[in-house]
Every structure is written in C-alpha cells, then in structure tokens.
Chain A
Amino acid sequence: MLASNTKKIYLDNASTTPIDSRVLEAMLPYLSDYFGNASSLHSFGTTVKESLDNFRSQLAGFINAQSDEIIFTSGGTEANNFALKGIAFANRSKGNHIIVSAIEHDCILNTCKWLETQGFYISYVPVDSDGLVDMEKLKRFINARTTLVSVMHANNEIGAIQPIEEIGRLCRERNVYFHTDACQSFGKIPVDVVSQNISLMSLNAHKIYGPKGVGCLYVKKGVNITPLLHGGGQEFGLRSTTENIAGIAGFAKAAELCMNEMGTEIGRITHLRNKLVEGLQNKFEDFYINGSMTHRLPNNLNFAVHGLEGETIRLLLLLDENGIAVSAGSACSNNDTSKSASHVLQAMGKDPFEARGAIRVSLGRFNTEDDIDHFLKTILQEINKLSSIFSKT
C-alpha cells in the first residue's frame, strides 16, 4: 500500500482514464430521475428516448456521421467484435477473406483467430520499424474475396497514427469495407468518417474521461452487417438490450469535452510529452523511443533504456511503490502471462527481449508539468538504484 503522503501520478491514460467530474454530473440525472426504459411508450420511456436520440446525434456530429449510423455498445471490445464478426458473416456470400494489421488490439486479433476457426481467412499486414502499416503489402493482399480491411487509427502501445485516409480511399476503390478501431484516437485527434472513407469505426468512453462499460460502433448507411446480440431489437435492430442511458449520457458528455478542448489539449499534451522526452534523453544516454515520432498520438511515449530492458518489470513495480502508474504495454494483455512480450513491438522488428522491455507513458487531461518533473526525478532515482544492483552482479 502507498503511504498516504506519497504524491500519486497517473501516467497510464491509454489504459483507462478517470471520469471527469463534469461527465459524472451529466450522468447523475440518468441514475436518479430519468431511469426509464427507452423502449417504453410512456413518458418515463419517451423522456429517456429523447435524450438517447440527442446523445446519439451529438456523438454522430463529432465524427461527421449521421445519427442513425451510431450503434451503442458495451465498449470498444464489443464494437470491434461486432464489426469483424458482423461483416464476416453478413457478407460471406461475397467472400471469406479479411485483412487486419499485425499490431491491432488483442480483441481484433483474437476475434480474427476465432473467425479462422469458422472458415474465414485472415491476412495480417506487416508494419515498418516505425509501426506504420505497409501500404504496398495491403494493396497486394486485397483480392476478390476480401470483404473487410481493419486497421486501427492509432495504436494503443506506441501511439502510431496509421494512414487511415489512404487506406479508406484504397478500400473504397477496391469496394471493400474499411473498419478502424479509433478507441485510442477519438477525442485526442480529429476523426472524420466521410473524408477518411470509413465504413465502420469503434469508439469507447473510458479512454476519454467517460465511464467504463459504454462505447459505440459507427456503421455507415448501407453497410451489410449481422448483429451480435439478438433480442428486443433496440439500436435499429443491431444491438438488443435495454439502453445504458447513464453510460451513454456520460459518453456523449466526455466526447463533447474532448471536442471542445482538443485544440488546446493537443498543444499542452505535446509540450508535456516533449519535456518528458528531453528529460529522459538528458538523463539516460542509452534511451530510445519505440515507434514513429511524427505519426504519433500527442499523449503517447513508449521507450526503453538499452541494457535495462530486462529490468522493466522491476522498474514498474518500483515506480508503483513511489505512487507512479505507467505500463509495460496494453493492460488487457497483462492477463495473459504467455504473451508478456508485446506483439506490437515484435511486429516492428524488435526482438522478444526488447519487446518485453518497453515502458509506456500515456499522458492525460489531469497531468501537469509538475507530474513530469516528479516522474523524471523518480525514474532517475530508481534506475540508478537498479543500475547499481545490476552492475554489482
């Protein structure tokens, strides 16, 4: 346990974020007064239905979509499962080939593995050493039986922003659906389903200071998709269940705040990140960054120190003891001990040793300059401790 006087610094905003108090305020009325079932025809229901419609159109607006193209889900994982399985099964008569990138989130990759057991063929597009997808390979992979290309907008571990506009254009030309998992990028950098030629896009709330347990899938009008959850026919028949109105209210508010503050936040967070990079560079001559610095989310830094990769887990524990939360990669894969080396870094050509040694710092709305100073001071102190142990053995 942390001593109560330890300064606590949360630098793991890519894994999840605290709920903004303004979001919490927006949710409360839907936990108390407006509790109706949106499908009910009476006033308790219609009040909620009206709010639901408003939240839907608000979210649609933020990505340049139409209101009825937003299907609320229980989060990003469900949205990604829905997109891949829904397209795969609905378009089986056209083909059984799907293309994804090698650095997708576990929920995409594991869905693909499952689809392979159901008679589908999956191609994995490689990435370069910067973590950006190989467009030439992607072009060659698309064939007459391809129904879907799924490439994430920004990677969760290295923050690499993929050329989705170009991929979208390619998919449109080749008449293939394009899905992008925008859970990491939405709210941090602009997304536009029209100009980026996106057919399906997954979003979630808890990465943008909204609640856990809610997200959505954008499904472009006319896209042929099968639902995952069958039942009462909610969400235009595409996702049955009583709508989580409080969660949706929080999602819409969280998105609104991100949209309003994006302009200033990009600058502020980039400044903090640059300060962090400079600080680390000055302190550790063997410091290196994983992934592209030019095509990168402003809040992401993924780094390691040569020779200390084997000590990363110990370092993270020491930081944790000092009240600092950072991560070795994606939180989801922490459950899976067989896969402790990052599949993302390995896809970029790192060996398993290096791929195990990365530290991800992900900044957020509530981080300050002080946090960066404190982090730099602490990591220097702890690495020095480790290095001295290291050099003695």
Chain B
Amino acid sequence: MIYFDNAATTALDTEVIERMYGVMKNTFGNPSSVHAYGVQARALIDECREKVASLLHVSPSEIFFTSCGTEAINMVIAGCCNDLNIHRIITSPLEHHAVMHACEHEVKLGRCKVELVKPDNKGNINIEELENIVKNGERALVCLMHANNEIGNLLSIAEVGEICRKYNAYFLCDTVQSIGKFDHDFKENNIHFAACSAHKFHGPKGIGFLYLNGDIKISPLLQGGGQERNMRPGTENIYGIAGLAKAMEVAYRNLEADVAYIKSLKAYMVKRLKEVISDVGFNGESEENGLHTILNVSFPETRKSDMLLYNLDIEGITASGGSACTSGSVTESHVLKAIVADLKRTAIRFSFSKFNTMDEVDKCIEVIKKVS
C-alpha cells in the first residue's frame, strides 16, 4: 500500500506514538486537581505549551489547545463577531469548509456579512483586489488560508499581513496545512489568529491549537471550567497535547531536510508524469511553487479517467479527489470549481510526506500507466 494522501491525514511518527504511550501509561491526573497527580499533568501541559510556542517564536500565553483546527477557526470567527465588533469578513472561495461554514453561520445569525476576494485560474489571490476590498468598508476580519489543502497554493502572508496592518484589519490565517512544514513568524506577518491540527504533521487526531495574539481578547467558544486560562474548558487531552508537541518537535528538527526531500519526490513525480502522459496538467501552483507536499494532477479525459482514483485504490495507491472532508467526487471540489479548472478532466491530489520514497513514486507511475 502506498499512501499519497498526507494532506487528508498523516501516519503518526513512531516517536509521537512512543511519547503518547508513555503519557497514557504514566500520567493520568486531572491537570486541574491540586494533588500530586494533577500537578504532574499540569507540568506536562506547561512543558508542551512552551515547546510549541518556542517552535513558533511566540509566547506560551498565546497558545490555546483545542480539539482541532476546525474548533480553533470556529472560535476565532465567532469571537471576532461577538467581541471585536467585527461585522465584515473578507475571505475567498478556496477556503476550507471550516472557514466557509463558520462564516455562513455568523451570516445566518445576522452578525456579519461576507465579502469574497476572487482567485485567478491558478488559484492565487489578487493582492491589489484584496487591498481594495479591505480598504473600502468598516474594519474587517480577513480569513485566508496559508496553504490550500487541495491545490497547495501558498498565500503571500507577508503581503496580506501588511494590508491588514495598513487598514487595521484582523488576520485569521488558516495554517492547518502549513504548521509543521513551514517556519512561521506570526508577529512579522501580522497574523492575529492561526489554527493548527496535529494530525496533519504526523501527530494525533483530536488535538490542535489556536494561536491568539497576546494583545487580542476574544471570548471562548465553550463555557465551563477555567482550563486554558479560561479560554477552552474541558479536562485537557494530555496525551494529545504531548503527541502534538512531540510531532512539532520532530517536524521542526529536520524541517529543511524534510522539505528538500519531499520537494524532490514531487519534482520526480511531475517529471515522470510528463513522460508517461502527454497531456498531463497540474492544478493551481502545485507543479512548482505551492506547498511541497501537495501535487494536484489534471489527467486528460479518457475512457477510463472517471475511474482513475478508484482504480488507483484497487492497485494499492492511496490518493484523493480533493479534500477528505468534502468527501465527494472531483466535480464537487469547490476549490477546482472556483479556479475554473476543466472539470471534464480528472483531478487527483497526491500529497506526500517524509515517509514516502522515490520507489513508491515509480510504482505509482507504473500503476497510472496501467489504469489511465
């Protein structure tokens, strides 16, 4: 089995499993308890928070653990409308459903309106157009993802951050696909809110965090006990937090080498695809400039192209027609629709990790030759 769907979720790193196993066996106190068991669990969370913060060059007080990236995003969007007097959200049609549907919910509640900045047919946001929208209207929340989960396009966060700084807008950057794969500097790029899901970089599912700039105060999404400095109640998922911190440590320990390696896998896949399929194309910027892990291939329409993804799976190659969450066929991808891709062609997203090999790419190419 060859797993090329690392944008959907990733296999846990062995070091992460070992770390979690150790915590699950030996640490179980409720971090809010004042006795020794609680103190031990509390110390573990503090240590993890410090590690995460230092890897992102932020203060530990700016990291709030949540159950996932979706929760962090929902928290920010509701919080901005509730507490920061934001009634205008500027976003794009390429965002993850967490952003789109959380915004729709606020619109339904009558708390804000949404303005869309349109991407070009490569999936890039026009920075001038964005500036015009931000400039013309009341103070806004700009919600744009750093790395697109389907086509891998990278947003120029420095430029967007600068626009937000210039016009006093808040900037929520959905960094779910890029944390663990990119050396972030939220302060430099004027990012006020960022979201993370550990399972996108070889960490466990069910844990993530919100980065919340220390100068900003929003109210929590959930009410309850005083955990996470009154920002996220619920007994802390200590093994998840330990797994997340370990996954980040591993990811940033070898970041440059891993990026270079995965880039070489992708470049090799592109080269081989061009050799075996004359009319192959690539959606978005994924061929060269996008996030190193994502390659969105556009296969020409053939007698068998409709069944390509299915046949790959039968042959043991795991890829995806789009984001896992949308779960539908290729034609349902809101991202490909928005960039006006030729929907008669078959789009397949191959997304790589450090665990993949050149040999797997070769095998995949052989299968593609056979089934396309």
Contact = CB atoms under 8 A, between A and B. Distances in A.
B8 interface: yes
B159 interface: no
With a 10 A CB-CB cut-off, give which of A32, A110, A331 has the most chain B CB atoms: A331
B339 interface: no
A74 B233 contact: no
Contacts, number: 258
Contacts of A2: 36
A199 interface: no
Contact of A75 (B35, B36, B234): B234
A393 B276 CA distance: 91
Contact of B236 (A44, A106, A212): A212
Nearest to B105: A230
Contacts of B10: 35
A233 B236 CA distance: 25
Contact of B8 (A15, A17, A45, A241): A45
Nearest to A323: B36
B28 A77 contact: no
A24 B25 contact: yes
B37 A41 contact: no
B266 interface: no
B8 A40 contact: yes
Contact of A77 (B230, B234, B323): B234
B93 to A, nearest CB: 16
Contacts of A245: 205
A360 to B, nearest CB: 11
Contacts of B233: 77, 106-107, 110, 332
Contacts of B223: 81, 107, 110-111, 113-114
Interface residues of A, number: 74
B57 interface: no
Nearest to A14: B30
Interface residues of B, number: 70
A213 interface: yes
A198 to B, nearest CB: 21
Nearest to A34: B11
Majority DSSP secondary structure for residues of A touching B: loop
A240 B102 CA distance: 10
B70 interface: yes
A40 B324 contact: yes
Nearest to B29: A16
Contacts of A32: 11-12, 17
A78 B67 contact: yes
Contact of B67 (A74, A113, A114): A74
A371 interface: no
Interface of B: 1, 3, 5, 8-12, 17, 20-21, 24-25, 28-30, 32-38, 67-71, 73-74, 96-98, 101-102, 104-105, 197, 199, 204-207, 221-227, 230, 233-240, 309, 313, 318-321, 323-327
Given A232-B70, A323-B36, 17 more contacts: A16-B33, A28-B17, A39-B324, A39-B325, A40-B327, A41-B320, A42-B319, A78-B234, A213-B239, A228-B74, A229-B71, A229-B74, A229-B98, A241-B70, A244-B206, A331-B30, A331-B38
Q: Closest 8 A-B residue pairs measured CB to CB?
A: A232-B325, A213-B237, A244-B206, A332-B225, A335-B226, A107-B224, A74-B67, A231-B98
19 contacts: A10-B37, A17-B28, A31-B20, A31-B21, A32-B17, A37-B8, A42-B309, A42-B320, A77-B222, A81-B221, A107-B233, A229-B71, A230-B102, A246-B204, A246-B206, A323-B36, A327-B33, A330-B225, A331-B33
